[in-house]
Amino acid sequence: MDSIANFLSVKDVEDVGDWISLAQKFKVNPYAHQHLGANKTLGIIFFNPSLRTRLSTQKAASNLGMNVMVMNFNGEGWQLEMEDGAVMNGSSQEHISEAASVISQYCDIIAVRTFATLTDREEDYAEKFLSSFVKYARVPVVSLESATLHPLQSLADMLTLKEQNTKSNPKVVLSWAPHPKALPQAVANSFAQWTLAAGYDLTIAHPPGYELHPDFTRGARMTHNQEEALQGADFVYVKNWSAYENYGQVSREYDHWTLDGAKMQLTHNAKFMHCLPIRRNVIATDEVIDAPTSLILEQANNRTFAAQAVLYKLLSHER
């Protein structure tokens, strides 16, 4: 048998276009493979709260006829130890090796949401938690967002781009936006990675100090000039992230990066994208969010079909 197939990033996808098409098929006919998941169980494991990811993944699994077990480790479970060789006489109740192995015995696929510490960059960018979990899991693992990536969101975003795009070479812009709290770089990293893998022309605008890790953005045009980036844009994805260099830091210096109607005037009647939840009148103004060009609800809707495509691939052992 081959090594277990997981879904942790775009690197686990051979042909991005093929997966987008599959998601699109499920959107047309969600119950096309309703018996594929019979007697199969999806374990959905959360280490921090979730709304869209939780409900869309559960729905996707149900559409495929899978049994779903949801577990919130915050409230229901325990603190996991990740260090090999640790003498566990402190607060950790169980080693991730046992937790991941045991959950694998009750589930056919495990979907897990972990989180960035935003304090230990090395640990976050090594995906310490997720990679430990994967190391000990004995069934396929689906990332529901990890410390540095959010591939299910990105696949949903790629479906949305495909559905909405009418051009041969649209200009896609990813723009930083302000936010009162420190947020991970996961959505931005992942959107860049998938957009580039799908062959889009990507421009990333952010203030000085908010550079992303180049591994994810290589091939994109980078600028500190938001207005220049927006000119002629066909799609504008806004998202906050905290600094990568001064890891996890936020300043209020760039609060004027809020996307508003005047800035949207610079674009080529661009579609507006965001992964939600969105801080209204901070990330973007109501005018932008509520415009007919806003795709945010369609992106959320597409989460179900992205998750369904991923589960289908893992259940049917297709790559």
Binding residues for carbamoyl phosphate: 50-53, 78, 113, 150-153, 275-276, 303
- Give least dist CB 31 to a copy of itself, A: 6
User: Whole-angstrom Cα distance, residue 153 to residue 15?
Assistant: 17
Q: Give the residue ranges of the annotated binding site for N(2)-succinyl-L-ornithine.
A: 145, 179, 239, 279
User: Whole-angstrom Cα distance, residue 78 to residue 36?
Assistant: 33
- Which CB, 52 or 271, lies closer to a copy of itself? 52
Residue found by looking up tokens 């990330």 in the block: 283
- Give least dist CB 109 to a copy of itself, A: 14
Q: What is the DSSP letter of 259?
A: B
Q: Please report, for residues 3, 34, 186, the alpha-carbon distance to residue 41 in angstroms, rounded to integers and kept in the order given.
A: 20, 14, 27
Phi, psi torsion values for 312, nearest 5 degrees: -60, -45
- Which CB, 221 or 279, lies closer to a copy of itself? 279
Q: Give the residue ranges of the annotated binding site.
A: 50-53, 78, 113, 145, 150-153, 179, 239, 275-276, 279, 303
Residue 7: closest CA among 152, 157, 123: 152
- Give least dist CB 43 to a copy of itself, A: 7
Phi, psi torsion values for 10, nearest 5 degrees: -60, -20
How many other CB atoms sit within 10 Å of the CB of residue 181?
9
Footprint on this chain of a copy of itself (rule: CB under 8 A): 30-31, 39, 41, 43, 46, 49-52, 54-56, 58-59, 62, 67, 69, 71-72, 74-78, 81, 84-90, 93-95, 98-99, 101-103, 105-107, 180, 276-282, 286, 296-297, 300-301, 304
- Give least dist CB 183 to a copy of itself, A: 11
